[in-house]
């Protein structure tokens, strides 16, 4: 076994830790769509979920393992608590994958032992050792995490790690579970593990961290300098609370600053060999896909993938960039797959040209998806003369959304103006196939549309976020609408794109309501089973 890889291993946990972000719940098809894109991106490991958590999680992991976990694809991993039933479920879920990993964990900080586990240190050591050995019965690839390692007693941490490595753990992950440590502290923690765990050479050191203090990426980069060789991260940094270390920031930091990091990996300073297996030109597309499917927007000033990441407004900056991009840009926008806003297709373009361009952009659609996307493309092309790559991405991402189509928007019509009361009329097709129409007056056109839709659907909810973004410049730009609504403390998201922002708003709202309605149906079925 190569315990000192010449590159950094990227462990993506978007589908597990990322999905724990409020409102980011994904259905099975959406998870599979993201997993396929993560494979194109080139991540080494996909943590596809927590198999024991729910039948849905188990099915999603199994489907991803079967579809994406090919011989030349990523390792498919399931999280499991240090319990036999969890580990067995994880093993069953990853079984279809050519390469599967079980990731088991138990807390090691005194505060967790006292208040959460109510166990002694020696009890925790014994459990960790036994469960790692149990996991080895199912796969040779076992990862162990001492939860809240950042606040654990280092000496106890060394003992736990030594025992689990002896029991068969091939990766030991050091989580900063609550995002508490600073870079120097986290680097010192990794260095201490390297120096004080006698058998550490038999395992790869991994790191996992949250961004509560905005230090997750900095902590990880310091960890790399001190011997960490696997980074656990998420697309756009999504995750619980303030999120996780952002994959795109880590990868591009290692890419742009190769000369700085090369010596820490035993490479010549001037080596141009990539430090990760990531295809950086897939970064922007992956970011957009995850944002669209989770309904979690990327802030404009977000590093690497934000809308303003490569924008220059200052006159001095603009002048410098026009003379030489290197004056104010440390990386090329094309390196993350952000192409120029080039016109590629129009209303006279045929289906084959449409398919070919989508393939060039990295989309592999089924015949059904292609047909749906092509119909939308033609509709947009009739309204918008110039179709750009960004428009195409918005169309395709919108069409391959996997929100259950229970209610279908058939018509939306709005009347508004400076001296008129905004009035909306909507027609929806119900899950039973019945067409229902209603109208409502609102404070604005979108408010009127939403009130009319609510009268038809009749499911209590609270709209907590409404966001509109323009995909491209110009008055005929496609507008993307993302909304989030709450029901019984659960958040459901919806997304839609259209040249008509009112139509997009209505479609996004119906998408969110469909997710809510599907969840209510699932809850009702579970109650019937347990009754």
Tens digit of pLDDT for each residue in 196-235?
999 999 999 999 999 999 999 999 999 999 999 999 999 9
Mean pLDDT, residues 335-351:
73
Which residue is it, tokens 């960490």? Answer: 228
The CA distance from 82 to 135, in Å, is: 9
> To the nearest whole number, what is the mean pLDDT of the chain?
89
Cβ atoms within 10 Å of 449's Cβ, excluding its own: 27
CATH architecture of the domain 408-530 equals 2-Layer Sandwich (3.30)
Nearest alpha-carbon partner for 261 in 229, 232, 309, 233: 229
Integer Cα distance of 490 and 523 in angstroms: 13
What does the pLDDT read at residue 383?
A: 78
Query: Looking at 112-116, 217-221, 394-398, 421-425, which range is the least confident one?
Result: 394-398
Characterize the bridge pairing of strands 9-12 and 45-50.
Answer: parallel
> 9-294: which CATH architecture?
Alpha-Beta Barrel (3.20)
pLDDT for position 152: 96
**Segment among 76-80, 371-375, 390-394, 447-451 with least mean pLDDT:** 390-394
Q: What is the mean pLDDT of residues 40-56?
A: 96
Sign of the torsion angle spanned by Cα atoms 394, 400, 405, 408: positive
Query: What tens digit of pLDDT does each residue of 141-171 get?
Result: 999 999 999 999 999 999 999 999 999 999 9
Handedness of CA 231, 235, 236, 238 (dihedral sign): negative
The beta-carbon contacts of 307-313 under 8 Å, at least 24 apart in sequence, are 307/469, 309/333, 310/338
pTM (2 d.p.): 0.83
CB 427 within 8 Å of CB 411? yes
What local confidence, expressed as pLDDT, does residue 389 receive? 76
pLDDT of 334 reads: 86
Q: In what order do the strands lie in the sheet with 420-429?
A: 408-417, 420-429, 435-441
pLDDT digits (tens, 9 = 90+) for 163-204: 999 999 999 999 999 999 999 999 999 999 999 999 999 999
pLDDT band of 314, cuts 50, 70, 90: very low
* For residue 264, pLDDT beyond 80: yes
**Vertex 378, ends 376 and 382: CA angle to 5°?**
120
Residues of the chain above pLDDT 90, percent? 65
Q: Residue 217: count other Cβ atoms within 10 Å of its Cβ.
A: 23
Confidence of residue 3 (pLDDT cuts 50, 70, 90): very low
Q: Residue 2: its pLDDT value, please?
A: 42
State the Cα–Cα distance between residues 343 and 201, nearest whole angstrom: 53
Contact 30, 289 (CB under 8 A): no
User: Which backbone phi and psi does 19 adopt, to 5 degrees?
Assistant: -70, -15
Q: What is the 3-state secondary structure (H, E, C) of 106-126?
A: EECCHHHHHHHHCCCHHHHHH
For residue 462, CA distances in Å to 184, 452, 488, 509, 523 come to: 44, 14, 9, 11, 19
pLDDT computed for residue 318 by the predictor: 43
Triad 38, 374, 70: Cα angle to 5°: 25
Q: Is 432 helix (H, G, I), strand (E, B) or coil?
A: coil
Tell me the mean pLDDT in the region 482-510.
Answer: 90
Asked if pLDDT for residue 439 goes beyond 90, the answer is yes
- Per-residue pLDDT of 444-472, as tens digits, reads 999 999 999 999 999 999 999 898 887 76
Categorize the per-residue pLDDT at 37 as very low, low, confident or very high, splitting at 50, 70 and 90. very high
Q: Are 466 and 481 in contact (CB under 8 A)?
A: yes
Looking at the chain, the whole-number percentage of residues with pLDDT higher than 70 is 91
Q: What would the two tokens of residue 344 be?
A: 């590629």
What average pLDDT score do residues 241-250 get? Answer: 97
């Amino acid at each position: 076994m190569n315990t000192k890889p010449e590159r950094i291993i990227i462990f993506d946990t978007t589908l597990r830790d990322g999905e724990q972000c409020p409102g980011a719940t994904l259905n099975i098809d959406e998870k599979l769509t993201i997993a396929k894109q993560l494979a194109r991106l080139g991540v080494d490991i996909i943590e596809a979920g927590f198999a024991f958590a729910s039948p849905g999680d188990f099915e999603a992991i199994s489907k991803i393992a079967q579809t994406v976990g090919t011989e030349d694809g990523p390792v498919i991993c399931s999280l499991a608590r240090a319990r036999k039933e969890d580990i067995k479920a994880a093993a069953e879920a990853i079984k279809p994958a050519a390469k599967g990993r079980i990731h088991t964990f138990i807390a090691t900080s005194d505060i967790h032992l006292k208040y959460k586990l109510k166990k002694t240190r020696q009890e925790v050591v014994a459990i960790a050792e036994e469960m790692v050995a149990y996991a080895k019965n199912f796969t040779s690839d076992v990862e162990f995490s001492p939860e809240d390692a950042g606040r654990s007693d280092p000496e106890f941490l060394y003992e736990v790690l030594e025992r689990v490595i002896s029991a068969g753990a091939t990766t030991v992950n050091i989580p900063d579970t609550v995002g508490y440590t600073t870079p120097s502290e986290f680097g010192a923690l990794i260095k201490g593990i390297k120096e004080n765990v006698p058998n550490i050479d038999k395992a790869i050191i991994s790191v996992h961290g949250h961004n509560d203090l905005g230090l997750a990426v900095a902590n990880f980069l310091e960890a790399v300098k001190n011997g960490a060789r696997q980074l656990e991260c998420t697309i756009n940094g999504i995750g619980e609370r303030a999120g996780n270390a952002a994959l795109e920031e880590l990868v591009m930091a290692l890419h742009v600053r190769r000369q700085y990091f090369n010596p820490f990996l035993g490479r010549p300073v001037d080596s141009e060999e990539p430090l990760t297996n990531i295809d950086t030109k897939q970064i922007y597309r992956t970011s957009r896909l995850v944002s669209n499917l989770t309904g979690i927007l990327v802030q404009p000033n977000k590093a690497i993938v934000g809308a303003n990441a490569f924008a220059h407004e200052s006159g001095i900056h603009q002048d410098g960039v026009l003379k030489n991009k290197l004056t104010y840009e440390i990386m090329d926008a094309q390196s993350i797959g952000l192409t120029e806003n080039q016109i590629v297709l129009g209303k006279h373009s045929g289906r084959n040209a449409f398919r070919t361009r989508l393939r060039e952009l990295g989309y592999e659609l089924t015949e059904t998806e292609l047909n749906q996307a092509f119909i939308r493309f033609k509709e947009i092309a009739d309204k918008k003369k110039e179709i750009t790559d960004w428009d195409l991405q918005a169309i395709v991402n919108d069409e391959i959304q996997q929100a259950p189509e229970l209610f279908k928007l058939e018509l939306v019509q709005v009347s508004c103006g400076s001296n008129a009361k905004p009035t909306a009329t909507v027609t929806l097709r119900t899950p039973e196939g019945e067409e229902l129409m209603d109208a409502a007056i609102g404070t604005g056109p979108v408010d009127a549309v939403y009130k009319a839709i609510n009268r038809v659907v009749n499911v209590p909810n609270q709209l907590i976020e409404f966001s509109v973004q323009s995909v491209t410049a110009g008055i005929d730009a496609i507008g993307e609408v993302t909304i989030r609504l709450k029901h019984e403390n659960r958040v459901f998201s919806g997304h839609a794109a259209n040249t008509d922002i009112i139509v997009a708003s209505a479609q996004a709202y119906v998408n969110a309501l469909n997710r809510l309605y599907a969840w209510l149906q699932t809850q009702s079925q579970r109650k019937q089973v347990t009754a």
